[in-house]
Amino acid sequence: MLKDVTFGQYYPGKSLLHRTDPRIKLLILIEYLVFVLIASTELAMAATLLFTVFLVSVSGVRFGILIKSVKPLLFVLIFTAIINLFFTSGEGDPLFAWKFIKIYENGIRNAVFMLLRLVSLVLGTSVIVSFTTSPLQLTDAIESLLGPLKRIKVPVHEFAMMMSIALRFIPTLIEETNKIISAQKARCADFESGNVINRLKALIPILIPLFVSAVRRAEELADAMECRCYHGGEGRTKLKVMKAKAGDYIFLLVVTLVTVAIFFLDRITWSEAIGFCRDIFSK
Amino acid sequence: MANALEVKGVSVIYGEGTPFRKAALNNISTVFPQGEITGIIGHTGSGKSTLASLLNGLAKPTEGEILLFGESIWAKPKEMKKIRSRVGLVFQYPEYQLFDETVESDIAFGPKNLGLDEIEIKKRIRLAADFCGLSDKELKKSPFELSGGQKRRAAIAGVLAMRPEVLVLDEPAAGLDPKGREEILQGLTEYKKEFGATLLIISHSMEDIAKYADRILVMKEGEIFMQGGVEEIFMQAEKLFDANLDLPQITKLFIELKKRSICQSTDVYTVGYAKKEIEKALSR
Amino acid sequence: MSFIEARGIGFAYSPEEEKVINGIDLKIEKGSYVAILGHNGCGKSTLAKLLCGILLPTEGQILVDGLDTADDSLAFDIRKKCGMVFQNPDNQLVASIVEEDIAFAPENLGLPREEIRARVDAALKTVGMEEYADHATYKLSGGQKQRIAIAGILAMSPECIVFDEATAMLDPSGRKEIVAAMKRLNKEIGITVITITHYMNEAVEADRIIVMSGGEIIGDGRPEEIFSEVERLQSASLAVPQVTELLYLLEQDGHDLPRGILHAMDAADVLETYIGGHKNG
C-alpha cells in the first residue's frame, strides 16, 4: 500500500529537465500550472497536452514510472470524472436519461476536460520537479527564490533545511511504519474491524512507536549534524551552485510564450482560428 | 515426532509478468519438527525474512501451502488471528514495537487481542516475564526507561505471552553483548522445553546457531541450499565456507587443520568439542 | 603530546543519576588504531561522545590535540579534527543523494566549490563508492550507508574518526566492509581510528584494546595481552575469540601452549607445531 507511493521520489538522470536550473524549473512549474488551469477551450487544451507530452519526452523518465505515479490517484481521477459527468446540467435535451440520472453533452465535455487537466497536472509536476530534481536541489531553489525574505528576518535557510530533511526521511518512515504494522499484527492487533472509534484506538500501538522512533532519530541526527560542523546557514557554501545558463532562460522564455499563446488560444473558438489561418494564407 | 510446520512448494514472486519479476522464494519445501530448534541462516536477501513472514500469514505465498500441524494456515482466512497466536513471530529489533505505559500492559497487548480474561492475562504476563528474565520492578516501569537488552526481552515477552506453539524469531540477539545474547537464547530454550514448543531462529551468527539449534536450514538466493541436523551440516563445513557464510572461528580452525592433515573432523562447532578433538589427536 | 588526552574524567547524565564514567585517565596517540571493548551499558558509547566533544565531562578535562573540549569557542576546531560515525546508518545521513550528503560537512565549513567537489570525490573513492555518487541514499544496503557516513566524515579531512558501534546493526558482510574501511583509513591515510564495539573479532584487528566495565577502564594493552587474560574478560561479561578460549582451556589442562592467540590461522600454526612435537617427543 504505502510502498506504491512514488510522490517526491527522484530518478537520477541527465536529461534536459535534469540539467535545467531548479529555480527556473520552479518558475516554469508556476507558469505550467497557470495554463493547465486556465485552458478551457479545445484548442487551448490540445496545446496544453502537446506541451505536456513535450515535457514528458524531454524528462527521460521511463513511461512505466509515470504510469505508476498516476496509479494511486486513479480513484480520485475516476471519481472527479463521474461527478462532472452526472452533475453538470446543460442546456437543451440530455443525451441520456434514466430516472434521475441525466447526462448532458456539457457533462461529457467537463468530465473529459477535468480528467485531462488532472493527468496533466500530475505528470507535469512530476517531470518538471519531483522526478528530475533532487530534494536538496529543490529546497536550495526554494531557499534561493525566497532569499530576499531573509532581509525581513524570515528563517528561510532553516525552513529549507527542515524541508530537505523531511523529504530525506519520508522513505525511512514509510518503511518503519510498515514494520511496526506487521509487528503489531503478529501480536494479533486488529486494524480492520469495529467502529470508527475502535479503529482509531487501534492506531495507538502504531503511532506511539513511530513517534518515539522519530524523536530518537531526530536526536541522533542532530548529534550527527553537529559532528559534521553544522552551525546554521551562515557562511555555508554549496557543492552544487545554481547557475542559470542562457539555455535555462531560453527555456523559461519559451514556456512564457507558450503560456501567452495558450492564454490567447483560450479566447478564440475553432471557427475564429480557422478564419484567422485563412486570413494569413490568403495574404 | 509430528511436524509443527510444513512448507510445501512455496514460492513468493514479485512483479509476475513484468520485466522486474523476482522470486524471493523459489519452490521451497521443508518441515519443522515439533519441539526442535531450527536455525535458519543465509545472506541478506536470501529469503529468510520472507519465509518468516509467510509462516504466520502476514504475507501470502504466490504458490504453495503452509501447514500448521497438518492444516493449511490459509484454510480459514477469517481466523488468521488464531493462527498468529499459535505461530508467534518476533521481528528484528522488536523493541521498536513497544508502546504502552508500562512493560506489563505492553506484554498484555497480545493476550488482550485474543480476548482472554483478566486472570489468564495476569498468568500469561507472569509466565512471559519469567522466561524473559524481567523482574516485578521492571514490569511496572515504562518500556522506554529500560536498557537496550531489557527492552528486547520485554518485546519478546509480548509475543511469548500469547503462548505460541511455534515461535519464529528474526535475529533475536542482534546488537546485544555476549551475556545479553546468552540470557535471551537460554530463556527461549527453556520456554521450548516447558511447552514442547517449536523454535525457528533466523540468525547471521553461526556460533549462536551451532550452540542452540538442533537442525539447520541454509538459504541461498531464495532456495534451500542445505538442511539437516547440526552435525550433519557441519560435516560439510567446507561447503558452507565456499558459500561465503560466516562460520564459527573454531570451525575455520578445524578446516585449516584438516588441510594440514592434523585432524580429520570438520564438524567441530563448539569449543568443548574442539578440545576433545585436539586431545584425541595428541593421544594418537 | 598525545592526540587525545583524558584527565580524570567523570560523567553523569544528571546530578541525581549514577555516574556513567568514573575517573578515567586515557591517552590516545596520533595514528593509532584503538578498540574500546565492553558489554552493553558499560559506558563505552558515553566515553566515545566525550572524546569528540559531543558530551562534556562533568569532572576532569579532555584535550583533543591540545584543545579543551569544554571551551565553547574551540568546539568547531575540535569537530573538524575528530569526526564520529554512529550506530544507526539511517539516522546520520542528511541528504537524499549520496554526493549531496557527503558534501554536507565541507559545505558547513564554507569551503569553495571546487574544493568541496575534490573532497567529495576523494572520500567516495576511499570508501569505494564512486559509482554511487548520484544514487538515492535510502536504497543502499546497511554496509553501503555506513560507508557513505564514513565518507561524509572523511570529507572534513579529520585527523581522527570515532566509530560508535558502527557495525552493530549490520549483517556479517556489511560488518566486514566497515572493518576493512577502518583498517584502510588507519594504515593507508594515517587517520587515528577509535572503534567502540563488543565484537571480539573486530577488536582483535586493532593495535590496542581498552576494556571497560562499570564506567571504568579495567584493561588496556595489545590484543594478545588483553585476550590472554580470559577469566578477567569473562568476569566483565565479555567473550574471547573461540580459538583463544580453546588454547586457554588446553593450557589449563597442562599443555604447553602460548596465550593470546587470536586468529584461526595462528592457532593452526601453533597446534601443528605442538601436535607434531608431541608425536615426535
- A146 falls within a domain: no
Domain annotation for chain C: domains and CATH numbers: 33-54+76-223 (3.40.50.300), 241-281 (no CATH)
Does residue A223 sit in the same domain as residue A260? no
Structural domain includes residue B217: yes
Q: Are strands C33-37 and C192-197 parallel, antiparallel or unpaired?
A: parallel
Mean pLDDT of chain A: 84
Using a CB-CB cut-off of 8 Å, the residues of chain B touching A173 are none
- What is the per-residue pLDDT across A97-150, written as a single tens digit (0 to 9) for each? 777 777 777 888 888 888 888 888 888 888 888 888 877 788 888 888 888 888
Probe site for chain A from C96, C114, C120 (most A CB atoms < 10 A): C96
Residues A16, A127 share a domain: yes
Whether residues A34 and A87 share a domain: the answer is: yes
Residue A3 contacts C, CB cutoff 8 Å: no
Higher pLDDT, C186 or A46: C186
CATH number of the domain where residue B52 is located = 3.40.50.300
* Residue A141 falls inside a structural domain: no
Nearest CA in chain C to B147: C41
Mutate to test the interface with A, among B21, B96, B156, B162 (most CBs of A within 10 A): B96
| Judgement on whether residues A253 and A218 belong to the same structural domain of the protein | no
Question: Which residues in chain B have Cβ-Cβ distances shorter than 8 Å to C271?
Answer: 253, 257, 262, 278
C-alpha cell at C109: 565549513
Q: CB B96 to CB A213 under 8 A?
A: yes
In-domain check, residue A206: yes
pLDDT digits (tens, 9 = 90+) for A222-274: 999 999 999 888 888 888 877 888 888 999 999 899 888 888 888 777 777 77
**Model confidence band, residue C188 (pLDDT cutoffs 50, 70, 90):** very high
How many domains would you assign to chain A? 2
Write out the DSSP string of A68-116.
HHHGGGHHHHHHHHHHHHHH---SS--SEEETTEEE-HHHHHHHHHHHH
- With a CB-CB cutoff of 8 Å, which residues 137-196 of chain A face chain B? 176, 179-180, 182-190
| ipTM here | 0.90
Contact check, Cβ <8 Å, A182/B99 = no
Specify whether A98 is located in the same domain as A219: no
* Range in B59-63, B240-244, B255-259 with the lowest mean pLDDT: B240-244
State what percent of residues in chain B have pLDDT above 70. Answer: 99
pLDDT of residue B98: 93
Query: Are residue A128 and residue A211 in the same domain, yes or no?
Result: no
How far apart CA A115 and CA A109 sit, in angstroms, is 10
Is A159 inside any structural domain?
Answer: no
Asked whether residue A147 is assigned to any structural domain, the reply reads no
The kind and range of the H/E element at B26 are strand B22-33
Confidence of residue A87 (pLDDT cuts 50, 70, 90): confident
Question: Which carries the bigger pLDDT value, residue C187 or residue A38?
Answer: C187
Report yes or no on B214 lying in a domain: yes
When pLDDT is cut at 50, 70 and 90, the band that residue C154 belongs to is very high
Q: Which residues on B lie below 8 Å from C278 (Cβ)?
A: 282
**Residue A134 at interface with chain C, using a CB cutoff of 8 Å:** yes
* pLDDT band per the 50, 70, 90 thresholds, residue B19: low
How does residue B191 score in pLDDT terms, banded at 50, 70 and 90? very high
Which chains form contacts with chain C, at 3 or more CB pairs under 8 Å? A, B
Asked if B282 and C275 come within 8 Å (Cβ–Cβ), the reply is yes
> B251 pLDDT exceeds 60?
yes
Q: What distance in Å separates the CA atoms of residue C22 and residue A71, rounded to the nearest whole number?
A: 59
- Give the model's pLDDT for residue A3: 47
If you average pLDDT over residues B203-228, what whole number do you get?
Answer: 92
**pLDDT classification of C157: cutoffs 50, 70, 90:** very high
Whether A127 and A223 share a structural domain: no
Q: At what angle do helices C172-188 and C113-126 cross, to 10 degrees?
A: 120
The alpha carbons of chain A give a radius of gyration, in whole angstroms, of 24
Residue with cell 555506513: C146
Q: What is the pLDDT of residue A279?
A: 83
Residue type (1 letter), C226: I
> How far apart, in whole angstroms, are the C-alpha atoms of residue B248 and residue B205?
8
CA distances from A185 to A41, B80, B95 (A): 52, 10, 15
Taking residues C47-53, report their average pLDDT.
Answer: 91
Q: Which of B53, B109, B144 sits opposite A187 (nearest CB)?
A: B109
Residues shown for chain A: 283
Q: Per-residue pLDDT tens for B161-186?
A: 999 999 999 999 988 888 888 899 99
Among B160, B100, B175, CA closest to B130: B160
A vs C: CB pairs below 8 A? 110
Is A200 in the same domain as A176? yes
3-state helix, strand, coil in chain C (%, to 5): 45, 20, 35
pLDDT digits (tens, 9 = 90+) for A189-206: 888 777 888 888 889 999
Q: So what's the pLDDT on residue C79?
A: 92
B vs C, Cβ pairs < 8 A, gives 87
For the ranges A195-209, C106-120, C245-259, the maximum mean pLDDT occurs at C106-120
CB A10 within 8 A of CB A130: yes
Kindly state whether residue B240 falls inside one of the protein's structural domains: no
Examine the domain organization and report whether A253 and A180 are in the same domain.
no
**What local confidence, expressed as pLDDT, does residue B217 receive?**
95
Average pLDDT, integer, range B119-146? 94
**Residue A2 lies in domain:** 1-133+246-283
Residue matched to cell numbers 518468516: B52
pLDDT at C130 > cutoff 90: yes
In sequence order, which residues have a C-beta less than 8 Å from that of residue B9 and are 6 or more positions away?
A: B27, B28, B29, B63, B64, B65
C234 within 8 A of C86, measured Cβ to Cβ: no
Q: Is the pLDDT of residue A88 over 80?
A: no
pLDDT score, position A17? 85
Nearest one of C200, C236, C203 to C218, comparing CA atoms = C236
What pLDDT score was predicted for residue A140?
A: 85
Contact indicator for C174, C146 with CB cutoff of 8 Å: yes
| CB distance B104 to B111 below 8 Å | no
Q: Which domain holds residue B169?
A: 3-229
Instruction: Tell me if B19 sits within 8 A of B74, measured CB to CB.
Output: no
Residue C4 has pLDDT above 90, yes or no: yes
Chain B residues closer than 8 Å to C279 by CB: 284
* Residue of A63, A67, A187, A220 to mutate when probing chain B, most B C-beta within 10 A: A187
pLDDT at B190 over 50: yes
- CB contact under 8 Å between A134 and C111, yes or no, is no
**Which residues on chain A are in Cβ contact (under 8 Å) with C136?**
9-10, 12
Task: Report the residue from B53, B96, B159 with minimal CB separation from A187.
Answer: B159
Query: What's the pTM?
Result: 0.85
DSSP annotation of B74 reads: T
Q: Does one domain contain both A233 and A218?
A: yes
Count of beta carbons in the 10 Å neighbourhood of residue C273: 11
Residues A93 and A184 in one domain: no
The cell numbers describing C166, all together, are 558502527
Find chain C residues with C-beta within 8 A of B274's C-beta. 242, 246
Q: Residues A125, A253: one domain?
A: yes
**pLDDT value for A238:** 86
**Burial class of residue A12, CB neighbours in 10 A (0-12, 13-18, 19+):** middle
Percent of chain B residues topping a pLDDT of 90? 68
Residues in chain C: 281
Q: What is the pLDDT of residue A8?
A: 55
- The rounded distance, in Å, linking the Cα atoms of C221 and C209 is 6
If phi > 0 it is left, if psi is from -120 to 50 it is alpha, else beta; for residue C211 that is beta
The whole-angstrom separation of Cα B6 and Cα B157 is: 26
Asked if the model's pLDDT at residue A1 lies above 50, the reply is: no
pLDDT at A33 over 80: yes
Residue A267: CB partners within 8 Å, gap ≥ 6? Answer: none
* Minimal-distance CA residue of chain C relative to B177: C39
- The string of pLDDT tens digits covering residues A57-76 is 888 888 887 887 788 788 88
Domain tally for chain B?
A: 1
Alpha carbon of C193 to those of C2, C81, C161: distances in Å? 14, 12, 5
The pLDDT tens digits for A149-163 are 888 888 888 888 888
Largest CA distance in chain B: 65
- For B34-173, where are the E strands, in sequence order? 37-41, 63-68, 71-72, 87-90, 166-170
